[in-house]
Amino acid sequence: MTTTTETVLDARGVTMRFGGLTAVKNVDLTVNSGEIVGLIGPNGAGKTTFFNCLTGLYIPTEGEVRYKGTVLPPKSFKVTAAGIARTFQNIRLFNNMTVLENVLVGRHTRTKEGLWSALLRLPSFGKEEQASREKAMELLEFIGLDHKAEHLARNLPYGEQRKLEIARALASDPGLILLDEPTAGMNPQETRAAEELIFAIRDKGIAVLVIEHDMRFIFNLCDRVACLVQGEKLIEGTAGEVQSDERVVAAYLGEPFEGAPGADEVAEVEAAEAHAEEAPAEEAPAEEAQAEAAEAEAAEAEAEAETDADAETDADTEPETPAEDDTAPAADSTTSTTTDGEAK
């Protein structure tokens, strides 16, 4: 069997500004058919904003997003209809509807009747209902929740609610699914199950773009990984390439590195802060040095005066205080004396 690779998603130069804040800056990203691509980056890097630009929730300030070669309309329901489905960071289910009904709602873009007749269960909805139900049950079976089809969504454990969100997104028959932190709040067992589910989604022929903070999960899962830092794409490559890139490690640890997005600004601020901290520290030694010099001068003058007086009164008498001989190596003795004095 030969498979041809098709560019499913092609985002070019996507920039999103909120007033003075550039949340996403000139980001290019492609996802090909059969691929699982990861999007990582520290908190606030712009990942969700980028997702929102891809799915019509935000109209990018600059740039273009194409799905299978066609520029996407800036409306989320049209983007879904075009073939891109998504899940959200915070679960958004209809809690008082059953598991099955939640999936049926996700099908509204593929039925003639639309969302409101699905939600309100208008008579016209019944005509298409049977086919939709069958499709929805297939999806529930796929995610392993068919036995809970009639349960209320709110009664599902957390991990199953996340799965249900994925099933609802799949109900729109997407060619690409965007998953925003699908394992957030999951225990290790649920995370492993989510990983298997995502591989199975890819095996169904649906390309995947996934945001995650769990690095082990993302590096296990993804064919390619892109890392955003302060809105800019820092690197894109295989899991191995990204994992071993010291700039990625530094970005996660919050350490600046040469050429990092925003590094110039950070360096300027740090230099200014360092200068402000150093200034008083520099003054202190200068003041100390002046005081030391003054002390030394005074000691010298005193010694001289005593020496003169001694010489005048009794040239044979031993001086009580160090004489000129002792003051000769003035610099050294002054320094050590003063230091010792301060230490006392």
Ligand X SMILES: Nc1ncnc2c1ncn2[C@@H]1O[C@H](COP(=O)(O)OP(=O)(O)OP(=O)(O)O)[C@@H](O)[C@H]1O
Looking at the Cβ atoms of 38 and 41, the one nearer to ligand X is: 41
Closest distance of CB 230 from ligand X, Å: 9
Closest distance of CB 52 from ligand X, Å: 8
Looking at the Cβ atoms of 46 and 175, the one nearer to ligand X is: 46
Site residues, ligand X (CB under 6 A): 18, 21, 23, 41, 43-49
Residue 106, by phi and psi: left (phi above 0), alpha (psi -120 to 50) or beta? alpha
How far is the C-alpha of 272 from the C-alpha of 264, rounded, in Å? Answer: 12
Closest distance of CB 134 from ligand X, Å: 37
Looking at the Cβ atoms of 39 and 296, the one nearer to ligand X is: 39
Looking at the Cβ atoms of 47 and 163, the one nearer to ligand X is: 47
Under 8 Å between Cβ of 226 and 37: yes
Under 8 Å between Cβ of 322 and 306: no
How far is the C-alpha of 106 from the C-alpha of 312, rounded, in Å? Answer: 112
Under 8 Å between Cβ of 36 and 223: yes
Looking at the Cβ atoms of 31 and 229, the one nearer to ligand X is: 229
User: For residue 27, what is the DSSP state?
Assistant: E
State the DSSP string of 92-107.
Answer: ---TTSBHHHHHHHHT
| Three-state SS sequence of 148-185 | HCCCEHHHCCHHHHHHHHHHHHHCCCCCEEEEECCCCC
Strands 36-40 and 224-229: parallel
How far is the C-alpha of 279 from the C-alpha of 95, rounded, in Å? Answer: 60
Looking at the Cβ atoms of 49 and 191, the one nearer to ligand X is: 49
Closest distance of CB 140 from ligand X, Å: 29
Closest distance of CB 109 from ligand X, Å: 25
Under 8 Å between Cβ of 50 and 141: no
Closest distance of CB 41 from ligand X, Å: 5
Looking at the Cβ atoms of 262 and 322, the one nearer to ligand X is: 262
How far is the C-alpha of 323 from the C-alpha of 6, rounded, in Å? Answer: 95
Query: Which CA distances in Å does 271 have to 247, 258, 278, 279, 282?
Result: 21, 15, 10, 12, 16
Which helix (H) or strand (E) segment holds residue 7: the answer is: strand 7-18
Closest distance of CB 71 from ligand X, Å: 22
Looking at the Cβ atoms of 219 and 252, the one nearer to ligand X is: 252
Looking at the Cβ atoms of 16 and 303, the one nearer to ligand X is: 16
How far is the C-alpha of 195 from the C-alpha of 190, rounded, in Å? Answer: 9
User: For residue 152, what is the DSSP state?
Assistant: B
Tell me which residue has tokens 């066609």: 70
Closest distance of CB 233 from ligand X, Å: 12
Helix axes 263-313, 330-343, angle to 10 degrees: 110
Closest distance of CB 123 from ligand X, Å: 40
